[in-house]
Amino acid sequence: MRHFVLVHGACHGAWCWYKVIAELKQAGHKVTALDLTACGIDRRQVEDVHGSVVEYSEPLLTFMASLPAAGSDDEKVILVGHSMAGFSLCMAMERFPEKISVAAFLAAGMLGPDLTLQMVDKKFVEMSPTADTMDSQVIYGDGPDKPPTGFLVGPKHMETHLYRCSPRQDLELGITLVRPCPIWDEEEAARDTVLTNDKYGTVARVYVVCDEEKDGAFQWWLIENNPPDEHVVIPGSDHMVMFSQPRLLSEYLLQLAAKYI
């Protein structure tokens, strides 16, 4: 039995993994799906993050710290991060490399020792069609005269850019459950996401490309500029691969469980 740790993307929560959780548990594995700070059913609000990527990622970092030191390879967890959770995964890999057998980035931001957060953010804005926010909202939780504290994806943006191949039921579920995601302080986030070859670089990485994702070119740019140990393309998958192709995604994750031990 392996232990999967699933981490959601921006504005979503642990709830978005419900199909994958069922598949992995049915195969006999342990699954932990986390809500990051102010996401899902976490009681905190986006203003409580204070623009800090560390505060946002605290549930994952605290969970990883709570795990016992791996006595054998099969006690290490398989980290799975979607979209913006890639940055949280990178931080966990830098802090707890000895507890992770492999990290899977699903259409996710994948930093590296030579690929910084600033570089990735800049390229995303240049290349990404989903940078067009459409009906998404910027949240000014501290007042209109203060810097924004978060953003919330809008229904049209979700339907057009994120859930374009997913079942309508899952789109409606997402529209009902999304919450504002924090906007980080760029300088602080840059300091907090510094990665090293000695720690982050010792953890196996895989990248999952969603072939119907509108940000497809950006995913390939990440792979080219920070090559993982392997990558795979999930056919027929939009950005929300856990909704559009849950069976194929789960099958690939099970392959990782057998390979990276």
User: CA-CA distance, 147 to 145, in Å (whole number)?
Assistant: 7
Query: Residue type for 149, please?
Result: T
Active-site residue, selected from the candidate residues 8, 35, 82, 83: 83
161 lies in some domain: no
Active-site residue, selected from the candidate residues 136, 239, 244, 250: 239
Task: Assess contact for 217 and 127: CB atoms under 8 A.
Answer: yes
Give residue-wise pLDDT tens across range 75-107. 899 999 999 999 999 999 999 999 999 999 999
What is residue 139's predicted lDDT score, i.e. its pLDDT?
92
192 lies in some domain: yes
What is residue 131's predicted lDDT score, i.e. its pLDDT?
58
Phi first, then psi, for residue 76 (nearest 5°) are -75, 150
Give residue-wise pLDDT tens across range 107-140. 999 999 999 999 999 998 888 766 567 899 999 9
11 lies in some domain: yes
170 lies in some domain: no
Question: Which segment of 29-33, 56-60, 73-77, 83-87 scores lowest on mean pLDDT?
Answer: 73-77
18 lies in some domain: yes
The CB density around residue 68, as the number of other CB atoms within 10 Å, is 7
Active-site residue, selected from the candidate residues 50, 128, 211, 231: 211
165 lies in some domain: no
What is residue 251's predicted lDDT score, i.e. its pLDDT?
99
241 lies in some domain: yes
244 counts as catalytic = no
**Number of domains making up the chain:** 1
82 counts as catalytic = no
Q: How far is CA 42 from CA 50, 224, 246, in A?
A: 16, 36, 25
With the C-alpha atoms ordered 45, 94, 25, 163, is the resulting torsion angle positive or negative?
positive
Domain extent at residue 206: 3-128+185-259
83 counts as catalytic = yes
Is residue 160 packed enough to be buried (19+ CB in 10 Å), middle (13-18) or exposed (0-12)?
Answer: middle
Instruction: Write the CATH number for 202.
Output: 3.40.50.1820
| Start-end of H helices in the chain | 18-26, 53-66, 85-95, 117-127, 155-157, 168-177, 186-192, 216-225, 241-244, 246-259
145 lies in some domain: no
Mean predicted confidence (pLDDT) in 60-73: 86
Task: Assess contact for 216 and 240: CB atoms under 8 A.
Answer: no
User: CA-CA distance, 211 to 107, in Å (whole number)?
Assistant: 10
With the C-alpha atoms ordered 203, 111, 15, 142, is the resulting torsion angle positive or negative?
positive
User: CA-CA distance, 14 to 250, in Å (whole number)?
Assistant: 16
